[in-house]
Structure 1
């Protein structure tokens, strides 16, 4: 109500629906108006910047999922420069400015991938070889009954520099005499880094490529330590010295505490997890706290927080310093130095590097008097981390850590526990309110983090831990208040050889953490295995998370649609009925009982990946019940649930019979030219396409392969070219080059 010349003026909003009947045009106008209001508020709150990190990530995804060949670095850089050059001309058009700026950032993300792939390019071993290996041990991790070595290769057999891997990862059963920095000679069995065990599964070959590893394998026989003829390069000498110091401290902590508590405590400090048994790993996973063992965001934040608090508290005890100096900034700077040193000592692991970047950005905000924990800082940390390692976007570590922090920042106003921190008249009430604030805050933050990371954890690991909330709520206070402070104090006391009492105290807290984990792991259904869902469902759920956390306006409501579609897609995955090993050593087939049965002898790890992807909680060693395949020395046959005959040929003498009767023929060999099996998955096919999965039940089976592109990616070993044998009479070949040329049309 307003007055003008003594007259009252009533200001009213225009009617949304003049005819009182909502029409599509009215609804669209209303939605467009609300969308514009939301964008205006996002601009006022400066919340559009985080979407640049999303655009940067989209450029990375386009590279890894859309390229078929080797892009040039100049192309995305020129495109990005053109887009960014247009921004001064679009200042009067905010919508177009945001679109062009986002497009230019996406091109920069694509360019980061091209640069990264070219910078780490190195030879990959083309085939399995057993030959003498000479190299320098860069890193060593003790394990049960041996060790795992990273060796920089000086020579392997008679391979040329263009074919010889630069670095290899090998296992060794008696590594007590080997130290980082040693030059060793030994007989090694090396093979190309294994690619994905199933389409859409974890691709170790890609991770190995970006770590500079061109082969994996084992050492056999005697390992000789060769004398050095020339000094090692400074970088290699420094890396070996740090790794040797990590191994020494790992053994010191493990011996001081003893048992698995000592192994876990050592891993928390040095990042060396080789002494942790598989049973302990299983217990920690079942309790939902395995992330505590891997040095990542939690460790970096707690380490930085402990150093920050110690320095600030120490300076505050001296009044003249507290009044004359900016002790908060000094504490932040000291914490930055301390957490960087901690990351270097822990081995500069990929997850630790990303956590370090995030922590340094947060502490840097304190130095410039900005809020430390903000969505802009998180977006800046994500861009910096992805510029350094764009491949990290595809892994669970990056996805889960940034999703958890984004969820906590978005929900921070709801998690501050202000209602519990009100001043009370009674001392007892104040204590109770503080305890309630801590307890409710811990539960709430754990719940938010678990919800934010659940889509990524389920997609990558096909498991959920229903009692993870309880496990984190009970163990994180121990980690925050006892384990990590003791770790920092132990590192400070270690150079003075006064650290053993500190490790003993730390061991008490770690034993409590393990006891809690064992108790939770004993619950029924502490780990539930779910069928693997597709990348499309993950993209929808990730988009929903972005829409829930990045906006501050009603635009958050847009998350409902992708969240609903993503949950439906994840809850109803289309499972495969036939898995074929990348080497043709075995397969898993859905039998008439609806569960997978095994043909041949696929590697245990591969079989476990198939079972988990199928939502089957059985272990690879306990496959019992159900229909059994018929096997002999020449191969195996089995009938699928839809009546097709599948044959696995292990010996070429079985081709004559199985080519005549099998609907699907699987072999690591090359079948004869006259083989009449409608669908052949043979040696040549697997070398081209890798691990294969098939959905049956329809007249034409659906085939999905691990290699979706005809052009091998840089991290994929190039198979030796083979000329297919042709039957002169029929013109038919024994090589199925792609799923469309495998005779599926005749498979009924």
Structure 2
């Protein structure tokens, strides 16, 4: 199924609805035939082909299902809408997601269903869930990749239903008080505010993130320390949190029921405890806002608990496969995200390793030492399984991540999550202060570990972005090693070795031009040189991260010279005033304008203007000295539903 979904997203031309329907019908028919009449080899092969076809169809259906208007121009004016999301932007500003949007002088049929606005103005009201608000904002369509072949923010926004993004520099005003609806969102934010009031500072912000998924109180410094120390996964309500919560509730419910003789002797206590744990997980899913990571974690935990209720082995590769299929059926686009890839990489590795230890009957020492060794093995296995995926997506490796996790994850399971459950149970009685204090002490320790590890020299190792085939080859090799039986599994090392070779030989573009022409980057022997020391900060940061270069934009600008592309010569024409001056190519081979020239330059050079970049997106100079050519983001991205129309 993942192969079919990956094929859909890898296409450069949008398949027709008829092609999607045909793929789905053929896949369903082939699946039924393979299950009914399939032989020893034809059955599994037929099921595999059927799942590929069904994955392709599901991804296409999902893309059409979430389709909505996308702003096709830059807009400045009044924006009105209902608050359905509150978080923080990369610039540490409060950011709102609005639905039921109204824009001045814009046909309602062309207004995006959702817009996302960062608040840069001072004053105004404090945003409240489900409140209808208005402000004056700059809006633009979601941007495409910052370089050809890079992460497509436009596609990401498409599946989130966001059709415009922007910022406001004026105060936020209330149009009407919160109306009906969004009750879970309001309850979630009320709980987050209550937790932060009881636990001031970053301890409370961390607690609110763990309990409700609201990270708006976390500072950029805290987020950066957690990323560098490889503890950022503790901030997201994902498999670890859901597993710890479900495990605690399951154990507590089973213990309580077993302590009642009348119940323990007449009822299946283990199965009842599993059902209670599923209910607790569902409540946690609803309370956390039901984001993709939490939904994925709940599905994985629910599948394993249902296996317990059916007297099946809970921790098995079959259960992991069922959970993956369910997640991909619900959200096929999750396949492309680091969350899905890292979660299932860690889960598959843990199930495989502990299954091997169980089958091989390898002792883990005396009983009192086994939990400690289990934590060490779990952290080491999960870290090794997720490290390549994290390096590919985030362009860094955490040198001391294993030590940081060994010092933090046990406390998360033994102190933080149990205290969170008790705090929620005691909240209606108004006596949640003590469990929240206990939770805060555990989180303070974790934050201290993150700060100290992040401050160590060499804590973060920058990594160059891999090519498009590296992660698929890594996944193929790992699955062969895990799933194949006998010596044939050693063949899995071949795709693993091929992936490492491709990654080691990855080549970065000699020249990068941003999608507005405002920033140019040229690769030199010392690293990428940038055309300006500030402005376009997100683009500059992403380029340097993809290069595996840990320097700042200002330091990268210090490398800039006019002859960096010799024998090719590039000339930048910045600003409207300079664009009004008639000019020829002169000695330039490439002329880049940040504003549309009034008179097209005369000469044989290649001219890049904002209108050119609007159609092409970001540009890259690729190839060798005897075959250099400009490659565009639009060329690699193709014409898809989320592409500019």
TM-score range, shorter-chain basis? over 0.9
Cα distance in 1 for residues equivalent to 2:308 and 2:566: 64
Q: Are residues 1:119 and 2:65 paired?
A: yes
Q: Distance in 2 between matches of 1:555 and 1:675?
A: 64
Structure 1 residues 531-565: Cα deviation after superposition (integer angstroms, max 9, x where no partner): 11101122211111111222233331110110111
Q: 1:440 to 1:81 in 2, by over 3 A?
A: closer
Residue equivalent to 2:26: 79
SS in 2 for 1:178: coil
Conserved? CA contact 1:343–1:352, under 8 Å:
yes
Distance in 2 between residues matched to 1:702 and 1:437, nearest whole Å = 59
Match of 2:85 among 134, 139, 155: 139
Q: Does 1:698 align with 2:625?
A: yes
User: Closer, same or farther in 2 for the Cα pair 1:527/1:222, shift >3 Å?
Assistant: closer
Q: What are the residue-to-residue correspondences of 1:183-194 with 2, within 5 Å? A: 183-194=132-143
Structure 1 CA distance for aligned equivalents of residues 325 and 585 of structure 2? 54
* CA shift for structure 1 position 714: 1.7
**3-state SS of 1:661 partner:** coil
2:101 is the alignment partner of 1:157: no
Q: Which residue of 2 aligns with 1:741?
A: none
Question: Which structure 1 segments of 5+ residues have no match?
Answer: 1-55, 423-432, 630-637, 719-748
Alignment partners' CA distance in 2, 1:81 and 1:514 = 50
- What aligned pairs does 1:192-341 form with structure 2 within 5 A after superposition? 192-227=141-176, 237-239=180-182, 241-341=183-283
Tell me the equivalent position of 1:643: 567
2:333 maps to which residue? 391
Match of 2:9 in 1: 64
Per the TM alignment, residue 185 of structure 1 is displaced from its structure 2 partner at its CA by: 2.6
- 1:85 shift after superposition: 5.0
CA distance in 2 between counterparts of 1:498 and 1:420 reads 44
For the pair shown, the structure with the greater C-alpha radius of gyration is 1
> How far did residue 88 of structure 1 move?
6.3
Structure 2 gap segments, 5+ residues each: none
Cα distance in 2 for residues equivalent to 1:65 and 1:141: 31
Secondary structure of 2:572's partner?
strand
Answer yes or no: is 1:494 the counterpart of 2:430: no
Change (3 A) 1:610 1:435: farther
Residue pair 1:467, 1:526 contacting (<8 A) in 2 also: yes
Instruction: Name the SS of the counterpart of 1:218 in structure 2.
Output: strand
Structure 1 residue 96: deviation in Å? 3.0
**Secondary structure class of the residue paired with 1:543:** helix
How do residues 422-433 of structure 1 correspond to structure 2 at under 5 angstroms? Answer: 433=366
Question: 2:374 matched to which residue of 1?
Answer: 441
SS at match of 2:41: helix
Computed over aligned residues only, the root mean square deviation of the Cα atoms, in angstroms, reads 2.4
Provide closer, same or farther for how the CA distance between residues 88 and 594 of structure 1 changes in structure 2, counting only shifts above 3 A. closer
Post-superposition Cα deviations, 1:273-308, rounded to whole Å, max 9, x if no partner, equal 111111111111121111010111111111111111
Post-superposition Cα deviations, 1:103-134, rounded to whole Å, max 9, x if no partner, equal 11111101111111111110000111111122
- Give 2:588's aligned residue: 662
The alignment status of 1:365 with 2:310, answered yes or no, reads no
Q: Residue deviations 1:318-343, cap 9 Å, x none?
A: 12211111011000001111101101
Distance 1:658 1:307, change over 3 A: farther
Deviation string for 1:218-246 (max 9, x for gaps)? 23434332237xx96xxxx442x222222
Shift of 1:684: 3.3
Native 8 Å contact 1:544 1:562 kept in 2:
yes
| Matches of 2:73 and 2:447, distance apart in 1 | 43
1:610-649 correspondence to structure 2 within 5 Å: 610-623=543-556, 625-626=558-559, 628-629=560-561, 638-649=562-573
For residue 45 of structure 2, what is the aligned residue in structure 1?
Answer: 99
Structure 1 residue 522: Cα displacement: 2.2
Are residue 511 (structure 1) and residue 444 (structure 2) matched? yes
CA deviation string 1:690-737 (max 9, x = no partner): 12222365122143332236853222333xxxxxxxxxxxxxxxxxxx
In the TM superposition, residue 435 of structure 1 has moved relative to its aligned partner by 4.5
C-alpha distance after superposition, 1:448-472 (max 9, x if no partner): 1122112211111110001111111
**Cα deviation per residue 1:29-51 (whole Å; 9 max; x = unaligned)?**
xxxxxxxxxxxxxxxxxxxxxxx
Distance 2:612 2:326 in 1: 40
CA contact (8 A) 1:576 1:614 kept: no
- Please give the per-residue CA displacement for 1:491-511, whole angstroms capped at 9, x wherever unaligned: 111122111211111111111
Contact 1:531 1:615 in 2 (8 A): yes
Q: Structure 1 459/96 Cα, relative in aligned 2: closer, same or farther at 3 Å?
A: same
Equivalent pair of 1:591/1:597 in contact (CA under 8 Å): no
8 Å CA contact 2:573, 2:592 repeated in 1: yes
The TM-score normalised by the length of structure 2 is 0.93
- Of the three residues 54, 57, 75, the one matched with 1:108 is 54
TM-score, normalising length from structure 1?
0.81
- Work out the CA distance in 1 between the residues paired with 2:368 and 2:588: 68
Name the CA shift for 1:705/1:690 in 2 (closer, same or farther; >3 Å).
Answer: same
- What SS does the corresponding residue of 1:660 show, helix, strand or coil? coil
Contact 1:420–1:434 (8 Å) recurs in 2: no
2:489 aligned residue: 556
CA contact (8 A) 1:362 1:377 kept: yes
Q: Does 1:129 align with 2:56?
A: no
